[in-house]
Amino acid sequence: MSQSALSARALYWRHSLILAGGLLGALLVTAIILTFGETEFNAYGFFGFPLGFYGLAQGLILLIAGGGFWYARVQDRLEEELGESEEF
């Protein structure tokens, strides 16, 4: 493998790790805020449910699923930019 191919692959992996770490960090911070702030959020309502309960029961699941779809879209774009795309 040539030196430029190795540096392009290293750049691809660096961007991939930053993207994955950033998403996981954001999800972790959100989960911690919702978990420890549940009692404060319960003072407000959302569709008749306390907001803290609704945020943990539904919101966190939707956030994780949405984060997964967002990650896949951004990762595909990154693979196309850096030439690491593998089409089946």
pTM: 0.75
pLDDT digits (tens, 9 = 90+) for 21-78: 999 999 999 889 888 888 888 888 878 888 888 878 888 899 999 999 999 999 999 8
Of 27, 29, 28, 52, nearest to 42 (Cα)?
52
CA distance 34 to 87: 39
pLDDT in tens, 44-58: 887 888 888 887 888
Residue 60 to residue 7: CA distance in whole angstroms: 37
Q: Which of 2, 1, 4 is nearest to 82 (CA)?
A: 4
> CA 67, 69, 71, 74 torsion: positive or negative?
negative
